[in-house]
Structure 1
Amino acid sequence: MATKKTRMKSTAVAVAVPQSRSMCADDIRRIGDLQREHARVAAELNDQIAALTNAAEPVLAELSQRIAALQTGVQTWCEANRVTLLGEDDRNGKTANLVTGEVSWRVRPPSVSIRGTEAVLEALRRGGLERFIRTKEEPNKEAMLNEPSALAGVPGVSIVRGVEDFIITPFEAQTEVTA
């Protein structure tokens, strides 16, 4: 029996720390260069994807139409021959094996569709059907931020302050594309 390796390969990256202000400025310029190169490669990839999608779209659309037509025909025949396929009492199963594949009938579970939520809520209240209205309770974070001293002894609540993000923004010329 072969022994498995239990060691993971390190993916650590050596970090070069600039040693002066000019070296730091040079690294920021290189970050900008790399970001622009990344954007160029991503744009090139998207162009290739768009070209492939455009080339395949007519073929895929035609295949989808042919599939839909065949599915409609199969469903029509199966509906007309449902008793033959499933028997009189189709409680035993709603799937028929047709050698090259199966067809089946499934009843979807009940669902509720609501249009005009506010009107529905008002109608439920007027009809005394409040049991069908959900009330969601949750902590009000905005109010907590306004009164942090009142929460001093509440377990599970902490006010996070002073989190600082470090952002590098290389300078570059802005251009506009006009139509």
Structure 2
Amino acid sequence: MSKRDNKISGGAPQSRAEAEEWMSRLQKVNIRIRDIDTDLREQSADLKVRAAAKVEPFINEKEIISKGLFAWAEANRDALTNGGKTKTIKLETGTVFWRQQPAKVTLRGVDKVLEYLSSNRLRRFIRIKKEVDKDAMLREQTVASKIPGVSIKSAGEMIEAKPFEDTLEASS
């Protein structure tokens, strides 16, 4: 990079001094990218706050309307569903319907539940998940690499340029 040219246009530095210039430029570019990203995040957060404030009254109104419709439908369920023969009420502007929600299991104290199931012959409610322990294979690469279907590849080597970004302020 020459002193008169502020942009890098391919190639590579030809000396340690040029490498220092390139690293300095990389540092400045990284800071600009970080600053733009930070600005975007701040603007996005501000937009979300403003949108939430605008939508809040509508959410409250929706809740009031929905509760009212549900109360009306429940109070008149027998007549509206023809004695329970249907679960759907068609209005001119929409539909009200009842749906059975699927059952769900909630657990508190999973370890105690598992212990109870094990000691009370209820193992059919215990699922055992089998999976390959890749970390163990990495610890024993010689043995693991002989297993059919297993290959262990070298992580390889990489080179990275990391400027000292904390030492430089962004310039406009």
Q: TM-score, normalised by structure 2?
A: 0.80
Identify unmatched segments of 5+ residues in structure 2: 1-8
- 1:121 alignment counterpart: 114
Residues paired across the two proteins, number = 159
Amino acid at match of 1:144: M
In the TM superposition, 1:45-124 aligns within 5 A as: 45-90=40-85, 93-124=86-117
Amino acid at match of 1:145: L
Determine if contact 2:26/2:163 at 8 Å carries over to the other structure: yes
Counterpart-to-counterpart distance in 2, 1:146 and 1:55: 52
1:164 paired residue among 136, 153, 157? 157
Identify unmatched segments of 5+ residues in structure 1: 1-14
In the TM superposition, 1:13-32 aligns within 5 A as: 16-21=10-15, 22-32=17-27
Q: TM-score, normalised by structure 1?
A: 0.77
**Bigger relative CO (Cα 8 Å, ≥ 6 apart):** 2
Misfit runs of 4+, over 6 Å: none
Query: Structure 1 residues 74, 89: CA separation in 2 closer, same or farther (over 3 Å shift)?
Result: closer
Deviation readout 1:118-176 (Å, 9 max, x if unpaired): 0100010111011111112222323323333323432111222342233221122359x
Counterpart-to-counterpart distance in 1, 2:74 and 2:52: 32
Give the root-mean-square deviation of aligned CA atoms: 2.2
- 2:133 alignment counterpart: 140
- Percent identity for Structure 1 against Structure 2: 31
What is the Cα deviation at residue 69 of structure 1?
0.7
* Higher mean C-alpha deviation, range 19-28 or range 61-70: 19-28
